[in-house]
Amino acid sequence: MPNRSTDTLFQLVKSLEKGEKRNFKLYVQRNSGNEDLKVVQLFDALDKMDEYDEDSLLRKNPDIKKQQLSNIKAHLYKLILSSLRLIEDRNNIDILLHEQLDYARILYNKGLYHQSLRVLDRLKETAKQHQQITIQLQAVFFEKKIEALHITRSIENRAEALSKESDGISGHLGTINKLSNLALELYSWYIKHGHARDGKDVHALKSFFESNIPTVNKTDLGFYERLYLYQSYCWFGFIQQDLLAYYRYTQKWVDLFEEMPIMKTIEAGQYIRGLHNLISAHFNLNNYEKFDEALNLFQIFASSDNGSMNTNVKIQVFVYLHIAKINKHFLEGTFTEGLQLVPYIEEMLHEYSLHLDRHRVLVFYYKIACLYFGSGDNERAIDYLNKIINWKVDLRTDLQCYARLLHLIAHFELGNYDLLEYLIKSVYRFMAKMNNLSTAEEEVFKFVRKSFSLSPQKLVPAFKSLKEKLEKLQGNPLESRSFMYLDIIAWLESKIHRVPVQEVRKEIFMKSRRRRKE
């Protein structure tokens, strides 16, 4: 039986908003005949279902025969897309430009060559203003076709001008293609593996980057070339845990949109992603003031028309804005207060379950677990960590590893010593298998293993000793991921001074604020 995540028609129907459903019904009434009654019947049936169940669907709608279902579904899918096409946002530059290209083809087919060329001229100018270089190239190719087949005498030296224009656009597209490929492959590397774990990883990463980064004239780069160049350097720095480089290029990424505000509408998703990375850079650098500035910038965008222009943008705003809000509570040490976000996040994870990939969901589960752990509710933290641990391991091995490590520490906090010996071996085996053990984590395992034999009087000195060892490792870039995913130092401080983790984080935050004011 197909489920909610695999039946494409069901996904499309459930993604529709009320106005879009109403428009679909009107569209069918205007453009279809009696033969489409079964299409509407199928639409209504799918709209009422919570999960796709084909047997139940056929049983409750006897007019629809099993042998007809495949064809009816295909027809319904096409009709829904056609109805959506008519009401799509008129500010969507892609749709408007493709519409103009269609008009040029219609005029050409009618033999109205000069009119077609005038449409293409206007189209190219609009595409250039909005950085839509692929549409520019399509328009030029169409112009070349018209000039090659017909004597239009539209302008003198038309062939030479078109050839030069075509070569220029193709050159830019070639650079965009190379840079976008590099940015995508670097991001894919991070999703699969997380941060560089050792010198071998760093060497392989640098070798790949240097052999794939194209030589460019930075003064001659367009919007997309600069965007993908900054993204490439952003991921390169982030994977190596060079946080200053990560910050510099995420700032350039966001500044690019501030220089060309019109692109916030055309590439809203890229702008959101840039803001997310800028906020994350300030979070990792513990730069609260700049973090807050970037978060305010994000909230301004989220409350604007651009921040809710379509479902895709709404989802990205929800995901990255709420990750930032949780991180703000981590910085401030207000873990308990941050738990107020959890019910809404859970609600939206359910509402957007059709759209969210498991990577985003796992990140939320880990951050929620950290909120509970920091507030002292280790049992609830374990509940969310189990959601990650029990998920099939096929991406973000670093997240899987740190979920297990935090899971181990939460059980240590609860005094579940009967489980700890098994968990220590299990987690150590898992992280070693993933080649994910850093020196900091080795020291944590040694401590937990040794803690079984320590008397209560010797525990605090042992905590202090571990804290001193870990503090020496904080400056090593290859160890920094241990402190980015899990604030082990704050946990040790809480054990030494017998106060909650959030009190330690709060005190660190207040001291940092006082120093900046002095």
The residue among 38, 53, 87 that closes a domain is 87
Q: Please tell me whether residue 213 adopts helix, strand or coil conformation.
A: coil
> Domains in the chain: how many in total?
3
Judgement on whether residues 502 and 383 belong to the same structural domain of the protein: yes
**Average pLDDT of span 196-224:** 88
**19 and 136 both lie in a single domain:** no
336: pLDDT strictly greater than 60: yes
Tokens of 301: 């965008």
Residues 390 and 432 in one domain: yes
Q: What is the mean pLDDT of the chain?
A: 85
In a shared domain, residues 474 and 512: yes
The whole-number pLDDT of residue 32 equals 67
pLDDT tens, position by position, 9-39: 998 998 888 888 988 888 888 776 655 678 8
Do 48 and 99 reside in the same domain of the chain? no
pLDDT tens track for 217-273:
878 889 999 999 999 999 999 999 899 999 999 999 999 999 999 999 999 999 999
Q: How buried is 183 (Cβ within 10 angstroms: 0-12 exposed, 13-18 middle, 19+ buried)?
A: buried
Residue 411 sits in a domain of what CATH number?
1.25.40
- Judged against a pLDDT cut of 70, whether residue 156 lies above it is answered with no
Q: Are 71 and 111 found together in one domain?
A: no
Residue 482 lies in a domain: yes
d(CA 43, CA 30): 16
Within this chain, do residues 356 and 466 fall inside the same structural domain, yes or no?
A: yes
183 inside domain: no
Residue 219: inside a domain: no
Please indicate, yes or no, whether residues 392 and 479 belong to a single structural domain of this protein: yes
pLDDT of residue 1: 34
> In this structure, is residue 408 part of a structural domain?
yes
Mark whether 393 and 482 lie in a shared domain.
yes
Is residue 160 in a domain? no
Q: What is the pLDDT of residue 271?
A: 96
Lowest-pLDDT range, 93-102, 355-364, 407-416, 445-454? 445-454
Domain membership flag for residue 197: no
Does 464 map to a domain?
yes
pLDDT at 4: 44
Give whichever of 35-49, 87-101, 334-348 has the largest mean pLDDT.
334-348
What does 321-384 look like in DSSP terms, one character per residue?
HHHHHHHHHHHHT-HHHHGGGHHHHHHHHHHTTTT--HHHHHHHHHHHHHHHHHHT-HHHHHHH
Residues 475-514 have pLDDT tens digits of 776 666 666 667 778 888 888 888 888 888 888 888 877 7
- Residue 394 pLDDT > 70, yes or no? no
Residue 400 has pLDDT above 60, yes or no: yes
- What residues make up the domain containing 23? 8-87
Pick from 47, 66, 87: which residue ends a domain?
87
Residue 153 scores a pLDDT above 70: no
With respect to residue 178, please indicate whether it lies within any of the assigned structural domains.
no
pTM above 0.85, yes or no: no
Do 366 and 432 share a structural domain?
Answer: yes
Query: Which residue, 103, 135, 154, sits at the end of a domain?
Result: 154
Structure-model confidence comparison of residues 456 and 73, the more confident one: 73
**What confidence tier does 2 reach under pLDDT thresholds 50, 70, 90?**
very low
Residues 458 and 482 in one domain: yes
Residue 420 sits in the same domain as residue 462: yes
Asked if the model's pLDDT at residue 318 lies above 90, the reply is: yes
